[in-house]
Amino acid sequence: MRLYSQTLSAIKDFRQEILDRSKKVVESNLSDLASAIDYDLNPTKIVPYKYEHPEGKWIASRIVLEKYGINFYFGMIWKVNPHRQIDSQFVVTVMDVRSKDKASVLLDFARKCNTLSRSNRICLYLPHEVALDEEIRYDDFHLFEQTLEGLIKEWIKIWKAFGGTRALGFDATSPKQNVP
């Protein structure tokens, strides 16, 4: 029983470490991100996010852009996914999730992301999620912050080239959108 409780404690500590490290990286890039998306952001908008699903678990820092119904996630997913090419299940991700009623706008954004990004790491999940992912192996977990930093910097470049949230055509004065 002692080993079981130690294992649970280690998992809890691991999850908290991901949250702490992802928040630190997001905070260090917050002003650049705010400038790129043309949206006022401050550290209080960064909140922890945990989600468990049969296909995987998310641990991330989350920022909600309430005016637009957009959620940003910065963190890690580990999955049970037979389509992954390497033996690791860890995926460092920067994800942008829109309200389902804005899926067509997101699809246009995803197409432009592929044009604006020099990598092939842009992924469209479902019709309302676009992500910039990078897989890391278990033994490369020490590279988590560095990997997340690189993804956020690339995400910022994409948003700057895209033209920020104004280029999405959303009306910032409209009532709050449905945020998932």
Residue 174 lies inside a defined structural domain of this protein = no
Residue 178 lies inside a defined structural domain of this protein = no
Cα–Cα dist 26/43, whole Å: 9
Helix axes 144-162, 103-116, angle to 10 degrees: 100
Helix (H) or strand (E) holding 32: helix 2-37
**pLDDT(169) > 60:** yes
Cα–Cα dist 148/129, whole Å: 18
**pLDDT(24) > 90:** yes
Answer yes or no: are the C-beta atoms of 59 and 75 closer than 8 Å: yes
Looking at residue 47, what is its pLDDT?
A: 94
Residue 114 or 76, more confident: 76
**CATH code for the domain in which residue 37 is found:** 3.30.1460
**pLDDT(116) > 90:** no
* pLDDT tens digits along 86-101: 444 577 777 776 666 6
* pTM of the predicted model as reported, rounded to 2 decimal places: 0.81
The tokens of 107 are what? 């699809």
Other Cβ atoms within 10 Å of 84 Cβ, number: 13
Residue 145 lies inside a defined structural domain of this protein = yes
The tokens of 140 are what? 């490369």
Residue 72 lies inside a defined structural domain of this protein = yes
Quote the number of domains for the chain.
1
Structural domain including 106 reads: 2-168
- Mean pLDDT score of the chain: 78
pLDDT band, residue 59 (cuts 50/70/90): confident
Residue 46 lies inside a defined structural domain of this protein = yes
**pLDDT(112) > 80:** no
Instruction: Spell out the residues 6+ positions from residue 27 whose beta carbon is closer than 8 angstroms to its own.
Output: 43, 46
Helix (H) or strand (E) holding 58: strand 56-65
Secondary structure E strands in the chain: 47-53, 56-65, 70-79, 90-98, 122-125, 129-136
pLDDT over 90 percentage in the chain? 21
